[in-house]
Amino acid sequence: MPWGHRLIIPDLPGHGASVAGDGLTVGDCADDIAALLVTLGIDHCVVIGHSMGAMVGMVLAERLPGVVEALVLISATLRPAFPEGDPITQAILGLSDPIDPADPFFDVWHAGPHPVDRSFLDPLSREAAAIPSSIWKGILGGFSRLDLTEIAGRISQPVFCIAGSEDMLFDAAHRVALTSALPDARTVLLKGFGHNPHWEDPVQVALLVEDFLEATIIVA
């Protein structure tokens, strides 16, 4: 049944047009999104998050069970720490300002099994390059200490997890840990997709989300 919704897409602190606050942890970002909800007068919502946004979504859902009605997690993990010698870790630690949008790091960061049009990826690389290297490194440091297992276990809302089978950042072990920790989770694994399935096939991912929400949320 068709239904309408209001879509709000905030920049996380230090990203896009949002300045960095006092902290760069996932908890700090959740604080900022919670404040945004208050500012906008939103007392109920569905949170959809990808990668770091999914981590923020879990914290937000656990803190605001009366506000967050359901949670959609795309390419999520409970423990995002990258190994010290991992190429991603080394690439981020090697970033220096001004960051070049053509830096090979972004080809790895945005890589996926299915080709994505450069007219879409190039602006993303420019936006990512505009983030100061200190932000990238601060977030990486926060990831090294993050474990959302206990928080996930306290999430009472319906959760929908979407993941790609070829995710180079968060593999099968991450997916198993996530779904094992969440009390009420539905999971879809997209065969042959990477870390950004919503870029690789936005229509399919949108339809999956829509089906989940129509089955989960009662719309007046």
DSSP string, the chain: ---------PPPTTSTTPPP-S--SHHHHHHHHHHHHHHHT--SEEEEEETHHHHHHHHHHHH-TTTEEEEEEES--S--PPPTT-HHHHHHHT--SSPPTT-HHHHHHT--SS---HHHHHHHHHHHHTS-HHHHHHHHHHHHT---HHHHHT--S-EEEEEETT-SSS-HHHHHHHHHH-SSEEEEEETT--S-HHHH-HHHHHHHHHHHHHHHPPP-
The number of C-alpha atoms within 13 Å of 204 and in the hemisphere containing its C-beta is: 15
Q: Locate tokens 């420019």: which residue?
A: 126
Q: What is the pLDDT of residues 83-111, one digit of tens each?
A: 888 999 999 999 999 999 999 999 889 99
Domains recognised in the chain with CATH numbers: 26-80+147-216 (3.40.50.1820)
Give the predicted TM-score (pTM) of the model.
Answer: 0.95
pLDDT of 218 reads: 55
Query: Is a pLDDT exceeding 90 seen at residue 59?
Result: yes
Residue-wise pLDDT tens digits, 172-210: 999 999 999 999 899 999 999 999 999 999 999 999 999
Q: What percent of the chain has pLDDT over 70?
A: 97
Write down the pLDDT at residue 61. Answer: 98
Per-residue pLDDT band for 220 (boundaries 50, 70, 90) equals: very low
Amino acid at 102: A
Q: What is the mean pLDDT of residues 149-154?
A: 98
